[in-house]
A and B are shown apart, each in its own frame.
Chain A
Amino acid sequence: MDKTKIEQQAKKIMDEFLLVLGKIDQLPYELGTERPSSMRKDGATQTDNGFSSRMLENAPKIKDNCIVAEKKKW
């Protein structure tokens, strides 16, 4: 797969679409979606004791009950 070609194609499609959308700048818009509650109330709980081991099972590399990611030095 030619990454540059795909990227250019994506950009072209987006530019075309943006042009079509250009006509609607005057429309009002408010960011964000409203819902009746926006903060969590005290008391919600969930327990799933098996989750941790299931999670680690999917990991490519584990050690000492941890995921092993890359190492780094500056």
Chain B
Amino acid sequence: MVTQELLENLKTGKLSCVEHVRTQLALIKKENPRINAFLYVAEKEALVRALELDKGSRKGKLFGLTLGVKANINVQGMPISCASRTLDAYKGTYNADVIERIIAEGGIVLGMTNMDEFACGISGETSAFGPTINPVAPKRVPGGSSSGSAAAVAVGFCDLALGSDTGGSIRNPASHCGIVGMKPSYGRVSRYGLIDLSMSLDQIGPLAPDTFGCALLFDVIAGRSENDPMTLSEPVHVQQLPKTIALSPAFEALCTDKKIYRLIKEKVLAVAKEKHLKLVELDFRYVTLAVQAYYPIVYTEFFSGTRKFDGRRYGRRIEEACNEEVLRRILGGRIISCAEHEGRYYRKALRAARAIRDEFEKAFKIVDLLAMPTTPELPHLLGKLPSPEAAYAYDAFTIPANLAGICAGVVPCGLIDKVPVGLQLYAGRDHTLLGGMGMFGQHLNNTMP
């Protein structure tokens, strides 16, 4: 709702782009030193762009709306550091496809947002340039790895943001910061310009204060591109709102904080009743293997994707400038990839991923939506970094969507001990998902305290 009204005001000229940008720049100046959501604020560029837009015809789906861009997505001329010393001197030499689309629709890039270094984290604490603060629950982590994007939207630094999601990196921080976030189906959004974590799992996706903004940004960035041969158009079909929704005992079992699951289930029942959704129970066999399938793929692909950081053409040699988790993934990836293992780890993991994908394909023939928590626990307290294994288990609810290549999104569901909790939905199609998220978003707006 907020986004729709704002867009209306910008389009009619009731609010000028320059004024809007100035207001947000002032807020950033005041609060960002504390929150550390932005690593780079494109003050001059944004004002120039705003002026240009105010002078022209007020057209474009994102007209005048401001965006924070995660620091692993190339924006020409801006520092694209991936929150790492490896690339702290690298200036984007080209625009990612998503940036071109945003600019074409009148969006204004406000700057680059903070993240876990090279997207290798779940908390927002592992940036080389300091942690991001959760604006809604300041003692807790904001989540990761798109920590800056989520925090920036939550506090109002920018209207919308881009993040990337490989195992939950959009949905996790969206949940912890109480905003909306979505991971599109694999191949729906071009990855050209996104610095790789895991090529066969990564997707760029929107973060927004509401489902309207999320759907709007998704529509702008989605689409086939010859720059990313793995992109696919969404199959054309008559758009219908979802009619069935499922819960699964498999996910209930994985949710260690029972309060979270109770809250989720409560909301699902309430919305199902209000919107006349048929409630179904589904079981999954391979979902419990998700974490074990995920990390070998990520390790292997991340190792490969980081070979270009050799310090010859830009930045530094990554092994000499990165943090422990990044190095762990590189060294682990090297071990898995070496000839003596003959690809056994990687192939086994890909097999498991395929099995999970097949399960979901079958499931979405029967139901339109699947509901579950976003994380099994509330965000931990700042500074209480879990062990690698514990951190990995955190992704249990988000990873299956990436492995299966399907879309998943998060809407704010309420608070537990004043900490935001996000409800996660999976769907077989992006527009079904957005429809479902819209339903929950509406309901929650009517019932939030």
Which residues of A does B touch, CB under 8 Å? 1, 3, 6-7, 9-11, 13-14, 16-18, 20-22, 24-25, 27, 29, 31, 33, 35-37, 40, 44, 48, 51, 54-55, 57-60, 67, 69
Contacts and interface: CB of A to CB of B under 8 A. Distances in A.
B185 to A, nearest CB: 13
A60 B88 CA distance: 12
Interface in B225-266: 226, 229-230, 232
Contacts of A58: 89-91, 93, 313-315
Contacts of A20: 289, 292
B313 A17 contact: no
A11 B332 contact: yes
A71 to B, nearest CB: 13
A1 B318 CA distance: 14
Interface residues of B, number: 45
A59 B366 CA distance: 54
A1 B313 CA distance: 26
Contact of B355 (A1, A18, A24, A35): A24
A5 to B, nearest CB: 10
Nearest to A2: B324
Given A10-B328, A13-B389, A20-B289, A55 B93 contact: yes
B200 A33 contact: yes
Given A9-B388, A14-B345, A24-B351, A67 B313 contact: yes
Interface of B: 76, 89-91, 93-94, 200, 226, 229-230, 232, 286, 289, 291-293, 295-296, 299, 311-315, 324, 327-329, 331-332, 335-336, 344-345, 347-352, 354-355, 388-389, 392
B405 to A, nearest CB: 9
Given A58-B314, A60-B311, A67-B312, A7 B331 contact: yes
Contact of B299 (A1, A10, A21): A10
A57 B94 CA distance: 13
Contacts of B355: 24, 27
Given A13-B388, A24-B351, 17 more contacts: A1-B324, A1-B327, A10-B332, A11-B335, A14-B332, A14-B345, A17-B349, A18-B296, A18-B344, A18-B345, A21-B351, A24-B348, A29-B351, A35-B232, A48-B94, A57-B91, A69-B312
Nearest to A20: B292
A67 B311 CA distance: 11
A27 B356 CA distance: 11
Contacts of B345: 14, 18
A29 B348 CA distance: 9
A21 B327 contact: no
A48 B293 CA distance: 40
B347 A29 contact: yes
20 contacts: A6-B327, A11-B332, A13-B388, A14-B296, A14-B336, A17-B291, A17-B295, A17-B296, A21-B296, A21-B349, A24-B352, A25-B348, A27-B354, A29-B347, A35-B232, A37-B229, A54-B93, A55-B93, A58-B313, A69-B312
Contacts of B311: 60
Contacts of B335: 7, 10-11, 14
A1 B89 CA distance: 23
Contacts of A17: 291-293, 295-296, 349
A54 B92 CA distance: 8
Contacts of B295: 13-14, 17
A7 B330 CA distance: 9
Given A24-B348, A24-B351, A51-B94, A6 B312 contact: no
Contacts of A9: 328, 388
A6 B328 contact: yes
Nearest to B76: A54
A14 B295 CA distance: 8
A29 B344 CA distance: 13
Which of A13, A31, A36, A57 has the most chain B CB within a 10 Å cutoff?
Answer: A13
Contacts of A11: 332, 335
B331 A3 contact: yes
B358 to A, nearest CB: 9
B281 to A, nearest CB: 24
